[in-house]
Amino acid sequence: MKKDIEIPKSEGVYIAIVLEYNTEFEFDDWNAYLINDLDTDLEMVFVVTEGYDTERRTSKMRHAMPVIPKKSYAKIELMMEDVFALNNKFSVSYFAESKLYDKKYIFRKNTINKNALRDIPHMELKGILMK
């Protein structure tokens, strides 16, 4: 029966859009990170990203990470400032403690900006965090 299916709630896994200095190009870059704040490793992590609004849509980008250790983070992708005028969706699926989790994180258009920067857990950087 459908009522017997347990759908676990994803908690302790976040997406952060971080502004960090690129020493190679001597420029500030915006990067997306997946943060694992759990006391267990994430396995078989799959992230699909896309930007959209009512008139435009970016290509979907797919990223796979075999393991993200507990209380750590992993870089997903470099983000161009042009997509900040769009809604940016991150669909994240992963296994933890033999259960499959799935969650969507949406950064609404124009919410990624320097005025919204805050301290990011487990990173010594500032960015925008979505829980």
The model's pLDDT over 38-87, given as tens digits with 9 standing for 90+, comes to 999 999 999 999 999 999 999 999 999 999 999 999 999 999 999 999 99
What is the 3-state secondary structure of 85-102? HCEEEEEEEEEECCEEEE
130 — pLDDT class (breaks 50, 70, 90): very high
| Strands across the sheet containing 118-119 | 72-79, 27-36, 13-22, 126-130, 118-119
Nearest Cα to Cα of residue 34 among 60, 13, 61, 63: 13
Domain-located, residue 130: no
Tokens 């699926």 label which residue?
93
pTM for this entry: 0.94
Q: Identify the pLDDT of residue 3.
A: 72
The total of structural domains in the chain comes to 1
Q: Identify the pLDDT of residue 112.
A: 97
Q: Identify the pLDDT of residue 1.
A: 61
2 — pLDDT class (breaks 50, 70, 90): low
Domain that holds residue 31: 2-125
Domain-located, residue 131: no
Instruction: Reply yes or no on whether the pLDDT at 113 is more than 70.
Output: yes
CATH code at position 13: 2.60.40
pLDDT digits (tens, 9 = 90+) for 3-27: 777 779 999 999 999 999 999 999 9
Domain-located, residue 75: yes
